[in-house]
Amino acid sequence: MIRLEGAGKTFGRRGEPVLSEIDLSVGEGEFVCLLGGSGSGKSTLLHLIAGLEEPTTGTVSVEPGPPPALMFQDHALFPWLTAGGNVELPLKLRELQPDRHRTEAARLLGLVQLADRYDTPVHELSGGQRQRVALARALAQNSQLLLMDEPFGALDAITRDDLHEVFADVWRQQGLTVVFVTHDVREALRLGTRIVLLSTRPGRIAHQWRSTEGAVADEQEITERLRKEVHAHA
C-alpha cells in the first residue's frame, strides 16, 4: 500500500537533512509503529506519506484510493458541535445521502464505544472520549489507510490503555492499514505488527522488528536500541 525508496527530506536554507535514504514498504492490513527520539523525523515521515510534504530526494508512493485519514495528538474537534456532529462532517464532504448521516455517524461512534454520546457537546467530553470521537471522525473518511501522530500522547496511562484496546479492535474489524508515530516503546509493542526504529539527525531506519505470535520483540531490547540511537546523537 505504501512504498518509499531513497526518500529524504531537508529543511531550511542550508538544506539540513531531517530524513535520509528511507526505504520502507507497508503492506495492506499492517500496523506499523514509527519509533524514535525527538528529532528523528517521525512526524516528517508521516507527512511525506500523507502528501503534506514532498520528498527532497527519492520517491513516495501510496496505493490509489481515498486520501489517507489523519489523526493527531490534538483532537481538533469543533467544540460547539456534538460528538455526532463532528463525525458527520466528513460524511457530508463525501456527499453521502443526508438521511444516512446520522445513522452512519452513530455506527462509527458505536465502534469506539460512544454510542450513548451522539448528542453530547464536545466540551462536555473527557480527553479520552474526545480522542474516540476523533477516531470515529477519521474512520468516517472511508479510507483504508490511517496515519496517526502520537494520538494518545497527552492522555493519562489508564485512559491510554483503554484506547489501545478500543483502537486495536477497530483496526482488526475494519481491516485498516495503520502507520502510527510514537516515542513510547510499550505503546509500540502493544499495538504494532511491525516496529520501525529511526535514528536521529538525520532520520534513517536503524532497525525493524516484526510480529511473531503476537509479540513483536522484547521490550528491553527495543528500549536499549532506542536509548543507543538517542544518546549517539545527543
pLDDT per position as a tens digit, 109-154: 999 999 999 999 999 999 999 999 999 999 999 999 999 999 988 8
DSSP bridge pairs for 181: 34, 149
| Amino acid 39: pLDDT | 84
The helix (H) or strand (E) run that includes residue 204 is none
Residue 76's pLDDT is 87
List beta partners, residue 233.
none
Q: What is the DSSP-derived secondary structure letter of residue 196? A: E
Distance between CA atoms of 159 and 187, rounded to whole angstroms?
A: 13
The mean per-residue pLDDT over the stretch 76-97 comes to 90
Helix/strand/coil for 182? strand
If pLDDT is split at 50, 70 and 90, which confidence band does 20 have? very high
CA quadruple 150, 32, 178, 136: dihedral positive or negative? negative
Q: With cut-offs at 50, 70 and 90, classify the pLDDT of residue 100.
A: confident
Q: Give the pLDDT score at 52.
A: 93
pLDDT of the residue at 229: 85
Question: What distances in angstroms separate CA 198 from CA 1, 48, 151, 204, one per listed residue?
Answer: 20, 15, 19, 5
DSSP, res 68: P
Residue 63 has pLDDT above 80, yes or no: yes
Instruction: Provide the whole-model pTM.
Output: 0.92
* Helix/strand/coil percent split, the chain, to 5: 40, 25, 35
Domains and CATH numbers, the chain: 2-68+143-232 (3.40.50.300), 78-142 (no CATH)
Q: Give me the residue label for grid cell 479520552.
A: 128
Please give the torsion angle defined by the CA atoms of residues 23, 194, 136 and 163, in that order, rounded to the nearest 10 degrees: -140
Instruction: Summarize pLDDT for 193-220 with one digit per residue, the tens.
Output: 999 999 988 999 999 998 765 555 688 8
**How far apart are the C-alpha atoms of 139 and 132, rounded to whole Å?**
11
